Structure 1
Amino acid sequence: MFFASRIIRSVLLPLMLFASLLSGGGLAAHAQSTQTPLPPAVKPDPNAPSAPPEEPIINLLDREPEPLFSDTLVPYAPARSVTTDVLEGLDQGALYLMAKLTPDSSPLNDGLIWRIYSETTNTDGRLQLVATSQGGDAEFRLDPGTYLVHTAYGFAQATNRIVIGKEVQSKMLTLNAGGIKFGAALKDGEDLDDRIVSFDIYGMDFDERGERDLIASNVKPGSILRLSADTYHVVSRYGDVNAVVRADIQVLPGKLTEATIFHKAADITLKLVNERGGEAIANTTWSVLSPGGDIVVEATGAFPDFVLAEGEYEAIARNNGRTYLHTFEVAPGEDREVEVVTSMAELASQEETVSSN
């Protein structure tokens, strides 16, 4: 009996150990099959209060470094099939971007241009454009590495460096930008929006040549420019001669500044005539001089037309080998014709009037 019981125990013990191993392996396999992947990172809530991110993007440049950046735009439209998307996604990171004008404003839904550049340069010494997106928010899939994110909203721009891994990142960018709406008028308030008026916008700083940085040129009245919050030097031109007004205008973040420039000028048409109210003489060459004798503008024709700033001028008309002079004044907003008379009687009466004054 004793011998038989030993045999039974020697047989049952290995069987029990084998069954235990089978049971443990089945539990492990069952646990592995029921494990679920981690959910992806959530996108930022546009309605959530603005708070500084744990790892904020460092603002590097206020403006895009044009000499380094490529002008060729490559649309971001990667082609992925359903079967390869998961495998490729494991080797890339996801970047979700949104932008606001101010920390307290709502995210912008339109008007943004996002450009992603590789930090390394190509053979031409330019930064390689990797992807671009237009509209509001943007989402990119990028290989791990360091990139420059350039954001443009009109003329408001910012460039930031970001390091991409294989995770999902969400960034909210504050542009700190506003806008200017341009208008022009005469001294008495008459609107000049339908006249030949333009605006040039410069930065406040001077370069080594003593020139300001030109931001935008030939802007028409009624236009709205999106600009970074700052003070700008604005030059308004009425006509093409000397009716120029300059002003420094401040742009506030999240605000639209309406800037109206008042001009003291008038539209003047010159005529060389044989008598008052007579027909204009063709093939006449004109010079308009300042009181100091400097040439303000020159032209050829029977009806030269200029916009001149307020002040006193001298018109010189040359025709058929003869020269005629006439002094006239320009009053703000008083557009008119100025006649230069060739008759000796008229010239004599003008000389008497001048000498009596």
Structure 2
Amino acid sequence: MEKKVILQFDRELSLSPGGKHVRDGLSTAFLTGKDLWLSCDERTTIERITLQEDGSFGEHASFELGDYLDLPSKDKSEIDIEGMGMANGYLWLIGSHSLKRKKPKRHQSVEKQIKRLANVENDPNRYVLARVPVLLDEDTGHYNLYKEVEDPEKEEHKLRAAQLHGNKTSSILTDALLEDEHIGPFMNIPGKDNGFDIEGLAVHGNRLFIGLRGPVLRGWAIVLEVEPQEDKSGKLHLKTLENNRSYKKHFLNLRGKGIRELRVFGNDIYILAGPTMDLDGVIAIYRWRDAMKQGGEQIVHNNELDRVREVPHGYGEESGKDKAEGLAVYDEKHVLVVFDSPTDKRKIGEDAVQADVVKVVE
């Protein structure tokens, strides 16, 4: 551990309709200049905080994604944003696309608790894969989001917010995966049961790399690669790739761990990996070297991945806490890690929390 960094939020912008504070559910992190973009798993917003002179992040701003996108559900159903990335003037974001199984509640009868465990639901907004224009305001130094804006790189061209074709129960990505020989059998299984669960996005030009927390197949994690394109209606569809599918599959032997976050670094990808099931376990950062130089589908053995370092996680009395879920490239040698369900010692006051800055390059 090199140092801890304070993330300061604004109380008026931080509470979900159910009362959960944004700092208690951080699920992804991405740095543009001095602006750190974050998401909380129970909201339809993304948050922006900015690097301060003392090294902390503050000046909290919150952006309601319904102002930029046509969300499948208008009732503020959570998007469960699990990945962000940036390329070509767009901030890309992706929901978990996963089903969820209800938890038993101790105060209820045994019969009701058992019944809850049989209840599987979906949140319509989880099936979002979208892009929103993001540009630097030279006057303020902030990156701002837009629904539509002139492209500073191309004359007479506009950047427009858009999302993948989908509805309240699926998208064209999940529809395609239903027939997949590896992933298809897991599409109707809840994410926390080793079912289909997206938890990472890395963007490089037109290529999107989507990390799966589940399924993990005999110890092998999966990264999907897609290339969204805008159609005449202004929505996104998936380009047919050289394998005659709308996606590629890359298999990485993370020895049983699923993917929590992906982040591009030059031609490499950093991978935050941890348990796919709802349990405590080792969380580690890996480096997939030359990932961007590969053309076809890849199968990457464990000794072909650099296991950079482990990340702290809760255990014992703090079981289920300090779950590392977000990874941002901080500088040439460090990454910033944010945590879901932080321990009390990680929280500061009523509205701040500590993130870890760790060294990944000697």
TM-score tier after normalising by the smaller chain length? under 0.3
Larger radius of gyration: 1
Greater RCO between the two (CA within 8 Å, min separation 6)?
2
TM-score (norm 2): 0.23
TM-score (norm 1): 0.24
